[in-house]
Structure formats: C-alpha cells, structure tokens
Chain A
Amino acid sequence: MAREITYRDALREALREEMYRDERVFLMGEDIGHYGGSYAVTRGFLQEFGPKRVRDTPIAELGIVGAGIGAAIGGLRPVVEIMTINFSLLAMDQIVNHLAKLHYMFNGQFTAPVVIRTAAGFGQLGATHSQTFEGWYAHVPGLRVVMPAVPKDAKGFLKSAIRGNDPVIFIEHSLIYRNRGEVPDDEDFLLPLEGAEVRREGTDVTIVSWSRGYYLALGAAEELAREGIDCEVIDLRVLRPLDIDTVVRSVQKTNRLVVVEEGWRTLAMGAEIAAAVQERAFDYLDAPIARVGSLEVPMPYARNLERLVVPNKDRVVAAVRQVLYQKQPVTVG
C-alpha cells in the first residue's frame, strides 16, 4: 500500500519511525525543538521525544557537526540538522577533514555514521542565503551525498542513511517541501544510497537533474512533448557515489544530453557529468552536452534579478532545442 504525502511529511515519517525503532537515534540542530524546525520538519518532535533526543543547540555549526561525529563514534546515531546549506560552510572543516576521512584514515577501525540534514533553496533571500553546494560535498571521497526530489526518495533515503554506517550529507530543498508523491506504507521501506532513476522515458534527448531541478526538467519535457520532442528525464538522486552508468545508457539511446542544476556551472556537478559522459560515450554524442545553471553572480535580492539568475523551465527547453540544433525562439532569458 502507498499513500500520497508531502516531501516534508515523508521526512517527518522517516525521522519518527527511526527514532521509535532505535533509541540511539537522536536529533541535534539549531531551532529544531522549541521553535519546531525552521522548515517545520521536526515540529512537535520535542514534545513527542523529549529534550534528550531532540536537542536544540547553540548557533555553532562546526561544534554541532563535530559533536555529531563524536556521538557517532561513541555509539549513537545522530541526525544533525544544519538549518540551510549556506551555514554548512561553517562546518566544512568537520565534514571534509574529519567526517569524510575517519574510516579511511584510521584504517577502517571505526565509522562515524552521522546524517547531516540541510536545505538548499532561494526566494529573495539575498546572496548568502540562496546557495547550493552539493557539488562541494560530492567532491569528497568518503561522503555520501543525497539530494532527493520526490517524497518516496526523501523517506527511503533518510531511513537508510540513519541505519547505515557511512556519513551522509542529506540535502533537502526549501521550495519542494510541499510537493506531494506516493510513499510506501512499509516502516522498513529503505532505498540504497546510490543509483539514479529514469523517471520519464524518451528517445530524443536526455535531461539529467536532481532535487528541484528534476521538476524543471520534467516541466520542460512535458512542454516539448506537445511538439513531438520526446525527452528522457533522469533524476540523479545521489551525487556521490555517482551513478554515471544510468546516464551513459540513456545517452547511448538518445545521443543528446542536457544537465540542469541550480547552482553555478563552473566546476559543478554538470561539469563532472559532462566529462564522465564524454569519457564513456563520446561516439554516441550527436551534439555538445548542454548545461543549464545559475548565472555566475552572487544572488541578487530584487525579484526580477533573481528570476534572471536561477534556471527555469524556459532555459531547459532552450537547452534541449540547442542540443537538437533547432532554431531558438527569439526571446530566451
């Protein structure tokens, strides 16, 4: 059986179920308790589980993440919430220099199974609150970086992340918390923390994206379908380890690839995907790979400027036309 629930509720269910299942699971983060979570994912949890397991912390990202690492080494299952991915930069040292490395550096003697939940997103929030850094974390061996787009994945991935033994950077998106989708009822519904998924089959062009970008890709595919252009849409879901095989198989069929990401394109996931695809499927490509991303500026506040900066459906459509060598309509942002 399955029910249709929101992305936010999928996360809430995953956390609640795992907290009931395993006493060692606890939550730690800024404003997750009394305030209820800045995106309301943990609303009511303090009342339900008490302050030992739902821990409001000082505003000290590196301290929280480092404490999560120590708690995990000490036998607990911490789920650390970093309010937004922008603030995770304050914890970068803990994540990159410790969390990602302990298992290897100490020769597999112990692990630090910390789950770091954080959220990307934008919405007239200005330059320091509108970023997305999944590529920065995906750069680092030892981390698993997950960025689910749909409620089913949000729940299945989060439960697997909590039960697994690797550190996981679990990136949500503030603009898709209300998106709805089917989620299995099974309390042991788990998803392996790897693997892309072909969500829409097509023959003409492959569009790869993840998180909110997946919805842009899908919207573009639906619009283009009305003109008879048949797009295959892949939700990458996990950025490290990267399931490039699924993308390559698709490109071998469609011969054309568009990557859609929300952040800057320079040295980002799209660059990595394009490089990996040309390494493995050079002879299959009928057009240069196109990348859709943000304009390379700090995010401006003004609504019209912000709209110019972030990728939208029209720019995805334009990119698809580009790889099909179609004439572009005159006005494309």
Chain B
Amino acid sequence: MTSTVGGRSPGLALPKSELLEMYRQMVLIRRFEEAAAEQYALGKIAGFLHLYIGEEAVAVGAIRAMDPRDHLVTHYRDHGYALALGLDPGRCMAELFGKSTGLVGGRGGSMHFADASKNFWGGYAIVSGHLPIAVGLGLASQYQDERRVAVAIFGDGATNAGPFHESMNLAALWKLPVLFLCENNQYGMGTAVEYASAVREMARKACAYDMPAERVDGQDVLAVYDATKAALEHCRSGNGPFFIEALTYRFRGHSMADPEMYRSKEEVEEYRRQRDPIVLFRTRLTQEGIAVATEFEEIDREIEEVVAAAVRFAEESPEPDPATVMEHVYAEPVRVS
C-alpha cells in the first residue's frame, strides 16, 4: 500500500500555494458537509444526504492530480468531488436546497451534481451503474485520440455488482484510458466488507482483468495524489485502465437517516482521533516546515465565511420556476400529443 508517511512524496514538491489549496479544499468540504447536516436538521434540505466527512483526502488528492480535460463520473456521495473541482459552494448548497441556482437547477439534488463545463458528467445513484459510462467516456477519448482519462469514483460496495465486472472487462479488453478509483470506506451502507465481498482487498479484483492496481492510504491526501498522478499517466500513455483502492473511512452515517447500528462508537472515535485526513495533512505540512499554524487558521476562518455565504446564497435563491417542469425531458422538440 502506498503511504507518504516516512517516505518522500512527489506531491510534497508541489508549490506551497497548491499544498495549501489542497488543505483549503479539504476544510471547505468538511465545513460544507457540516453546514449541510445542520440545514438538513432545520428542514431546509430533504431527501437523501450522504456526507463525505472523513473521506476528503480522496477527492482532493485525486482531483488535484487530474487534468482539467479528464472526465469524471462519481457515485452519489459527490459533494466533495464537486467542491474539489472548484465548483461554487453556493451553487452546490443551492442544489441541496432544491433551488433554481443549484448546479443542476434543483433537478438533481444531493446525489446528482454535475457540471459539463468541468467534464464532471455527474453523480450517479445506482450503485456501480455509472462505471460503464466511464468506460464509454474512455472509449470516446481513445476513438478521438484525445488522451483524456475517464475517472470513475465508486465505493467498495460497487465492486460486488455486475456492472463493475462488465466495465472492468470492457475497459481492459479495449485498453481504454479509464481510472477505476475505489473508495473503500469499509461499509456498503451498513454492511461491512467482510459480509459482502469474498475478497477483502478490492484491488485484488483487478487481477481478474489483468489490470494493474494499487492500494493507497485514502486518509493521506498526498498518497492519493501521488498514486492518482501515476495511474493517470499510465492510462494517458495508452496502457489501458488502472485500478486504485483508497482505504478510507466515513465519519458520519451512510446518510442522515442512518442510526449506525452496524459499527461501534469506539471504532468511529478511533478513526476521528487517529485518522482525520485534515489533521494528518496539517500535521504533515507543519512537520515539513511548509506552513505554520496561523496560515491554517486564516484558511479555516476564510472557509467559515465561504460556507456561511453559500448557505445564505442557497437560502435567498428562488425555487425553480414551475413553468419549467417539463423542460429538458427531450433535447429535440416534441410536436405530437
């Protein structure tokens, strides 16, 4: 497994501004998600709300390693990816509020963020169902000789479903530039990996398709960055797909409705104390002499304001115009009735 602790990460050679930006994004995701949970409790957000708290290092490390032209499709726990892509927190929050200013105009909600201008083709809510779409994006890239990589984000639960295997096979068979990035947070909703998968290490599943794979410490943002960077290079150079398993942990329930009967409070506390990706990164940057406490505190303060402003923006935005409810069912006009 790749970890940067004790080793010298190529990611550490990034300019200080970028390293601090990674820290900033992780804090932004954390505070955004906390604010979303609050707004959910206040009844401003409805439906399913899956928080990314605890897993921030995976999205931030992976997105930082990607080229802006690369394609991205994710699972439904998609807020972190949208924010790491630099999408406006106000528009993200407005989507959760179901407002017209939301990323997708209030049509998608928490699970279906998207921004075509960033090649972010959506969050998908049928577990593993978006993996063949990533394969198709990789096919389009190869077909048009674009050297763009399609990155698919999914959880450990997805690796037990049929679409995962069909996608892995197709991508490997056709040597498509697809990066399969599995966030193994150890639970598919409330079912632990050991109750769901015959193989405990997700990365080992790649060998069935002769696909290179790597396990990485998903709480270590630099390790994720390094592994993703190398994997993307592999895919971009025409070597076919790559599989990364990022070991991570979700600090909150599966969704807001989750009473968390399936894991102990002690287990969660242990992760929060020992394996918080933000604390780990901050400590690392401090130890390396890259940044000092006041710099982190300034970022933390700025993010408080950004998130408060995002909530205000969502609050004050109008609901979607009812007259638009039938728009976008079809791209071409429909004349018959």
Question: A-side interface residues toward B, CB under 8 Å?
Answer: 26, 52, 57-58, 60, 62-76, 78, 93-94, 97-98, 102-111, 113, 141-142, 144, 164-166, 192-195, 238, 241-246
Distance (whole angstroms) from the CB of A78 to the closest CB of chain B: 8
Query: Cβ of B170 and Cβ of A60 under 8 Å apart?
Result: yes
A202 vs B331: C-alpha distance when bound (angstroms): 36
Query: Cβ of B105 and Cβ of A107 under 8 Å apart?
Result: yes
Contacts of A76 in B (CB 8 A): 139-140, 143-144
Query: Cβ of A52 and Cβ of B143 under 8 Å apart?
Result: yes
Looking at B160-168, B192-200, B293-301, the stretch in contact with chain A turns out to be B160-168
CB pairs A–B below 8 angstroms (6 shown): A58-B173, A68-B136, A70-B136, A105-B112, A109-B114, A111-B331
The answer to whether residues A71 and B136 also contact, given A107-B108, A109-B114, A241-B336 and a CB cut-off of 8 A, is yes
Query: Cβ of A69 and Cβ of B133 under 8 Å apart?
Result: yes
Chain B contact patch, size range? 35 or more
A194 vs B112: C-alpha distance when bound (angstroms): 30
Q: Knowing that A58-B173, A104-B328, A108-B331 touch, tell me 18 more A-B residue pairs with CB under 8 angstroms.
A: A62-B132, A62-B162, A62-B163, A63-B166, A63-B169, A67-B133, A67-B136, A69-B132, A70-B134, A74-B137, A105-B122, A106-B122, A108-B328, A194-B334, A194-B336, A238-B336, A242-B336, A243-B337
Query: Cβ of B112 and Cβ of A74 under 8 Å apart?
Result: no
Query: Cβ of B133 and Cβ of A98 under 8 Å apart?
Result: yes
A74 vs B150: C-alpha distance when bound (angstroms): 10
A256 vs B126: C-alpha distance when bound (angstroms): 45
Contacts of A62 in B (CB 8 A): 132, 162-163, 166
Interface contact tally, CB-CB below 8 A: 161
A192 vs B170: C-alpha distance when bound (angstroms): 34
Q: Quick one: closest B residue to A70, CB to CB? A: B136
Q: With an 8 A cutoff between CB atoms, is B82 at the interface?
A: no
Q: With an 8 A cutoff between CB atoms, is B288 at the interface?
A: no
Q: Quick one: closest B residue to A76, CB to CB? A: B140
Contacts of B247 in A (CB 8 A): none
Contacts of A111 in B (CB 8 A): 331
A193 vs B143: C-alpha distance when bound (angstroms): 28
A136 vs B143: C-alpha distance when bound (angstroms): 33
Q: Quick one: closest A residue to B173, CB to CB? A: A58
Q: Quick one: closest A residue to B136, CB to CB? A: A70
Q: Quick one: closest B residue to A244, CB to CB? A: B337
Q: With an 8 A cutoff between CB atoms, is B141 at the interface?
A: yes
Query: Cβ of B133 and Cβ of A142 under 8 Å apart?
Result: no
B336 CB contact (under 8 Å) in A57, A106, A141, A195? A195
Query: Cβ of B336 and Cβ of A243 under 8 Å apart?
Result: yes
Q: With an 8 A cutoff between CB atoms, is B135 at the interface?
A: yes
Q: Quick one: closest A residue to B142, CB to CB? A: A52
Question: B-side interface residues toward A, CB under 8 Å?
Answer: 71, 73, 104-105, 107-108, 112, 114-116, 121-122, 124, 126, 129-141, 143-144, 150, 162-163, 166-167, 169-170, 173, 327-332, 334-337
Contacts of B337 in A (CB 8 A): 241, 243-245
A164 vs B129: C-alpha distance when bound (angstroms): 25
Query: Cβ of A66 and Cβ of B131 under 8 Å apart?
Result: yes
A98 vs B137: C-alpha distance when bound (angstroms): 14
Contacts of A70 in B (CB 8 A): 73, 121, 132-140, 150
B137 CB contact (under 8 Å) in A73, A192, A195? A73
Contacts of B132 in A (CB 8 A): 62-67, 69-70, 94
Query: Cβ of A166 and Cβ of B122 under 8 Å apart?
Result: no
The answer to whether residues A141 and B169 also contact, given A70-B150, A241-B334 and a CB cut-off of 8 A, is no
Contacts of B134 in A (CB 8 A): 70
The answer to whether residues A97 and B126 also contact, given A57-B170, A75-B144, A104-B107 and a CB cut-off of 8 A, is yes
Contacts of A63 in B (CB 8 A): 132, 135, 163, 166-167, 169-170
Query: Cβ of A58 and Cβ of B166 under 8 Å apart?
Result: yes
Distance (whole angstroms) from the CB of A121 to the closest CB of chain B: 26
Q: Quick one: closest A residue to B138, CB to CB? A: A70
Distance (whole angstroms) from the CB of A167 to the closest CB of chain B: 9
Most buried by B among A60, A66, A241: A66
Query: Cβ of A105 and Cβ of B136 under 8 Å apart?
Result: no
Q: Quick one: closest B residue to A52, CB to CB? A: B143
A74 CB contact (under 8 Å) in B71, B104, B107? B71
The answer to whether residues A109 and B104 also contact, given A58-B166, A66-B167, A103-B330 and a CB cut-off of 8 A, is yes
Query: Cβ of B139 and Cβ of A71 under 8 Å apart?
Result: yes
A75 vs B126: C-alpha distance when bound (angstroms): 24
Query: Cβ of B121 and Cβ of A110 under 8 Å apart?
Result: yes
A26 vs B336: C-alpha distance when bound (angstroms): 30
Q: Quick one: closest A residue to B113, CB to CB? A: A106
A292 vs B138: C-alpha distance when bound (angstroms): 46
Query: Cβ of A106 and Cβ of B329 under 8 Å apart?
Result: no
A195 vs B143: C-alpha distance when bound (angstroms): 35
A66 CB contact (under 8 Å) in B107, B116, B163? B163
Most buried by A among B108, B143, B328, B330: B330
Query: Cβ of A71 and Cβ of B170 under 8 Å apart?
Result: no
The answer to whether residues A75 and B108 also contact, given A94-B129, A94-B132, A98-B129 and a CB cut-off of 8 A, is no
Contacts of A72 in B (CB 8 A): 136
Distance (whole angstroms) from the CB of B170 to the closest CB of chain A: 5
Query: Cβ of A109 and Cβ of B166 under 8 Å apart?
Result: no
A111 vs B332: C-alpha distance when bound (angstroms): 10
Contacts of B136 in A (CB 8 A): 66-74, 78
A113 vs B136: C-alpha distance when bound (angstroms): 13
Question: 8 closest pairs, A vs B, by CB?
Answer: A70-B136, A66-B132, A74-B140, A63-B166, A108-B328, A165-B331, A67-B136, A243-B336
A60 vs B135: C-alpha distance when bound (angstroms): 13
Query: Cβ of A74 and Cβ of B126 under 8 Å apart?
Result: no
Q: Quick one: closest A residue to B116, CB to CB? A: A109
Distance (whole angstroms) from the CB of B44 to the closest CB of chain A: 20
Contacts of B143 in A (CB 8 A): 26, 52, 71, 76
A243 vs B334: C-alpha distance when bound (angstroms): 10
A193 vs B150: C-alpha distance when bound (angstroms): 32
Distance (whole angstroms) from the CB of B337 to the closest CB of chain A: 6
